[in-house]
């Protein structure tokens, strides 16, 4: 008989977002008149920038003419897009990244999962706790972990707690690990990393032959000029880091789908016999064999992000969501809650009041204010007692939600 | 030190299409005036159907209005697209497939590779020879094979020869295998399968607990009404087959990117302890965790394929390429060559004359006629002595290429 990948059976059944949906649906059925406001999932709500739309319409029209029609493109993405990314997102900020080191994809979720294809099965892996669940689940599916315990932790993963006590920046592990997932600005806590903090990670990785998998999907929300947008702003990162970037949150591409991954040609890892291999070659082979590139139309839309009009329009989008975050921070603080993040990040990380568990606070907020957020414990055991509020919503919804919390907070 | 996936080192270095490009470039540099016509890679050349373009422009415009803007869509695809596919491509032809069993993706290349994620490592795997190289290479990368031998065959794979002697339909194996890749209409040979032939495979799979991975990317080219377009037209296939479909070749989406995979909810495989698990649940989990759905804009373009205008326009495209195939068949036959395929398929499979090897014929055709095709041996050892000519090109190029071959064939 054909067998399945048994590792899938290790995955926790009660995944975070389906469980949220279940509780919201139950509440909505029992309270059909409730106007529920969802500040849970980090999905954008505002229109796609005009520059991107104009470019995509032009690209669709080109597809209608034999002389400008595009069939298969390069699996790695078109060079006109890769070059603009290398210049604007890296070289302009002092990051020494070449266009050939950029691989265009249809999403960071895909890339952060697929990257495991090119690594061995014997690597030790560290994640922060709380953490974006995809890093963990894809390792489980790839067979890089043992079973889950009652705290929701998988055997074989090293969990690095990030809490208010350590300012939401994980301590460098005392033991060696091979692969380290870092996400700054952080999902879910909204924390950021200074250059000094990242330098410690880079130094650690280089000293230990480790690889940092750096998720910078939220870099556009950094307003503090001292904070790095890319790990390649740190000396030595070309020797130890892969970076994931996305157009989802800066340009509102969550439904349009374009992202990219940076694999420097100087990044090496070992064969089982101890020889060095360029990870760029492996990722290039992986993408060439298992991927056929992003739609020409969508790549033209992404390219428009780098036009002067596009740059101005995405800045307006980012500013808009950051203003939402500021409103959330101010209103929750005024209501007596302790909040973190939301300054250089679109997520506000709330300490639950009165020692409530994350899920108890979720239920109270839903029942009392009809507002949905995300329980911190859903992102990991150390997220217990925290709660994520997303700034990705309309101003009207954000203000209405905060008004309800302000009015009814005493009941919480 | 971080280790790599050593299985990548087993992959043959001289991949088919890069080697073709190398030889063509060398020839072009030495012969700068040569007008080279490429009938190698199976990439479409004609404009995207108007119905699809109109739908995509409308979708782009919707993205510009807050009230119609789309963020994250369902990872499995929008139901309006899945329902149309289920109805038109399956139910209308007697295939009992529900919309929920259809997973929209950005390409069949991705899906045929990614599907291995959900299977165990101990399955025995059969491929035809010649074969679409992605099936083999993704198994190598996943660690499902041993090293390659001098014939280009990987240890641990069962190769089923398809040649003129067996009418390009593989014999059912005498031994049990778990996973079987079948592709009809076939790439590269252009062969088709009757319902009776597929029934034998379905019966074999059901008797042995095997799973058929059925690639129907070229089904639109079937003109013979007796031939099945889908394996689900065969009784029992819901219990043993996954089917891959694409908009690349029927609607010219190679650069636009949309495809889908069908996983019936009745399809089971075993855990290592022998329990049954629904493969639908595993694929759903895989796609939900490692994929974020296809662009809304592109899905609207794919949906338009099923409108009356879209159906008429894709039929014109298919007819156009089939006429190319007919011209190729006729001209090559008249030139004294023996040809197969090209009737219900966009590929013509040519027997090389005078016992020439596939690569020798490639070189002669390039040097004498300045025409590029694909050496059959690049698709597997049993493809030696054959040559693939693609019908995906302009009429002008096809006619010019055939004229050159007719004129200069004596020199070959």
Chain B residues with CB under 8 Å of A255 CB are 63, 69-73, 295-296
Angle at A203 between CA A199 and CA A205, to 5 degrees: 115
Name the pLDDT band for A411 (thresholds 50, 70, 90): low
Lowest mean pLDDT among A35-39, A114-118, A379-383, B39-43: B39-43
Partner-chain contact A4 B294, CB within 8 Å? no
Alpha-carbon dihedral angle through residues B219, B221, B225, B226, given to the nearest 10 degrees? -60
* B411, pLDDT greater than 70: no
Q: Are A59 and B244 in contact (CB under 8 A)?
A: no
Lowest mean pLDDT among A358-372, A396-410, B19-33: A396-410
Q: What is the mean pLDDT of residues A52-73?
A: 98
**A234-273 pLDDT, tens per residue?**
999 999 999 999 999 999 999 999 999 999 999 999 999 9
Q: Are B103 and B124 in contact (CB under 8 A)?
A: no
Q: What is the mean pLDDT of residues B146-171?
A: 94
Quick one: which of A118, A70, A284 has its CA closest to B18? A284
Mutation target among A70, A135, A295, A397 for the B interface, most CBs of B within 10 A: A295
* B303, pLDDT greater than 60: yes
Q: What is the pLDDT of residue B321?
A: 98
Q: Is B257 annotated as a binding residue?
A: yes
Q: What is the pLDDT of residue A15?
A: 72
Name the pLDDT band for A412 (thresholds 50, 70, 90): low
Residue A261 phi, psi dihedral angles, 5° rounding = -125, 140
Å from B141 to nearest chain A CA?
8
* B18, pLDDT greater than 90: no
**B76-88 pLDDT, tens per residue?**
999 999 999 999 9
Partner-chain contact B298 A293, CB within 8 Å? no
Lowest mean pLDDT among A63-67, B3-7, B11-15, B290-294: B11-15
pLDDT exceeding 90 applies to what percent of chain A?
Answer: 94
Q: What is the pLDDT of residue B289?
A: 94
Q: What is the pLDDT of residue A63?
A: 98
* B412, pLDDT greater than 80: no
Å from A382 to nearest chain B CA?
22
* A379, pLDDT greater than 90: yes
Q: What is the CATH number of domain B51-306?
A: 3.40.640.10
Q: CA torsion sign, B174 to B177 to B182 to B187?
A: negative
* A275, pLDDT greater than 70: yes
Pair type for strands A259-262 and A102-105? antiparallel
**Cα dist. B231→B99, B185, B227 in Å?**
16, 12, 10
Q: How many CB pairs under 8 A join A and B?
A: 260
Quick one: which of B214, B193, B187 has its CA closest to B374? B187
Q: What is the pLDDT of residue A16?
A: 83
Q: Please give the structure tokens belonging to residue B119.
A: 């299977």
Q: Where are the domains of chain B?
A: 13-42+309-411, 51-306
Q: What is the mean pLDDT of residues B59-64?
A: 98
Contacts of B116 (CB under 8 A, 6+ apart): B138, B139, B142, B144
Q: What is the pLDDT of residue B294?
A: 98
**Cα dist. B135→A88, A213, B64, B116, B363 in Å?**
38, 29, 40, 10, 27
Name the pLDDT band for A223 (thresholds 50, 70, 90): very high
* A200, pLDDT greater than 90: yes
Q: Are A105 and A244 in contact (CB under 8 A)?
A: no
Q: What is the pLDDT of residue A410?
A: 61
Mutation target among A2, A135, A244 for the B interface, most CBs of B within 10 A: A2
Find, in chain A, the residue whose alpha carbon is nearest to that of B137.
A289
**A355-377 pLDDT, tens per residue?**
999 999 999 999 999 999 999 99
Give the CATH number of domain A13-42+309-411; options: 3.40.50.300, 3.90.1150.10, 3.20.20.70, 3.40.50.720.
3.90.1150.10
Quick one: which of B89, B74, B82 has its CA closest to B287? B74
**A318-344 pLDDT, tens per residue?**
999 999 999 999 999 999 999 999 999
Q: Please give the structure tokens belonging to residue A292.
A: 């056929």
Q: What is the pLDDT of residue A134?
A: 95
A410/B259: higher pLDDT: B259
Partner-chain contact A255 B106, CB within 8 Å? no
Q: What is the mean pLDDT of residues A164-169?
A: 93
Q: What is the mean pLDDT of residues B207-233?
A: 98
pLDDT exceeding 70 applies to what percent of chain B?
Answer: 99
Chain A residues with CB under 8 Å of B118 CB are 4-5, 8
Partner-chain contact A109 B290, CB within 8 Å? yes
A411/A387: higher pLDDT: A387
Partner-chain contact B293 A113, CB within 8 Å? no
Residue A168 phi, psi dihedral angles, 5° rounding = 60, 30
Name the pLDDT band for B386 (thresholds 50, 70, 90): very high
Q: Is A109 annotated as a binding residue?
A: yes
Q: Is A248 annotated as a binding residue?
A: yes
Q: What is the mean pLDDT of residues B309-314?
A: 98
The DSSP secondary-structure symbol of A251 reads S
The ipTM estimated for the assembled molecules is: 0.97
* B14, pLDDT greater than 90: no
Average pLDDT, chain A: 96
């Amino acid at each position: 008989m054909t067998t399945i990948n048994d590792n899938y059976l290790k995955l926790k059944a009660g995944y975070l977002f389906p469980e949220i949906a279940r509780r919201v649906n139950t509440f909505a059925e029992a309270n059909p008149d409730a106007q529920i406001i969802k500040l849970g999932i980090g999905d954008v709500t505002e229109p796609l920038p005009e520059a991107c739309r104009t470019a995509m319409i032009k690209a669709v029209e080109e597809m209608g003419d034999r002389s400008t029609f595009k069939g298969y493109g390069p699996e790695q993405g078109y060079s006109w897009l890769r070059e603009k990314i290398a210049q604007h997102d890296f070289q302009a900020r002092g990051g020494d990244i070449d266009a050939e080191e950029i691989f265009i994809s249809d999403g960071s979720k895909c890339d952060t999962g697929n990257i495991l294809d090119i690594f061995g099965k014997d690597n030790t892996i560290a994640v922060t706790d709380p953490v974006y669940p995809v890093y963990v689940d894809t390792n489980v599916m790839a067979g890089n972990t043992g079973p889950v315990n009652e705290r929701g932790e998988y055997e074989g993963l090293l969990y690095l707690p990030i809490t208010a006590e350590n300012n939401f920046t994980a301590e460098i592990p005392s033991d060696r690990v091979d692969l380290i997932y870092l996400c700054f600005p952080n999902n879910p806590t909204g924390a950021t990393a200074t250059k000094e903090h990242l330098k410690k990670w880079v130094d650690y990785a280089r000293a230990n032959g480790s690889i940092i998998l750096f998720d910078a999907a939220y870099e556009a929300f950094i307003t503090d000029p001292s904070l790095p947008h890319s790990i390649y702003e740190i000396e030595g990162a070309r020797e130890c880091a892969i970076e994931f970037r996305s157009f989802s949150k800066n340009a509102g591409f969550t439904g349009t789908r374009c992202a990219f991954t940076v694999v420097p040609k100087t990044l090496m890892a070992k064969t089982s016999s101890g020889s060095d291999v360029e990870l760029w070659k492996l990722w290039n082979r992986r993408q060439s064999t298992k991927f056929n590139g992003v739609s020409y139309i969508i790549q033209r839309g992404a390219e428009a992000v780098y036009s002067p009009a596009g740059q101005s329009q995405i800045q307006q989008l980012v500013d808009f969501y950051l203003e939402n975050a500021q409103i959330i921070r101010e209103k929750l603080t005024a209501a007596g809650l302790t909040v973190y993040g939301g300054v250089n990040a679109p997520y506000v990380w709330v300490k639950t009041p009165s020692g409530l568990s994350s899920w108890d606070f979720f239920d109270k907020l839903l029942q009392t204010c009809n507002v949905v957020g995300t329980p911190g414990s859903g992102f990991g055991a150390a997220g217990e007692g925290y709660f994520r509020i997303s700034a990705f919503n309309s101003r009207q919804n954000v203000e209405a939600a905060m008004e309800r919390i302000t009015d009814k907070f005493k009941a919480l």
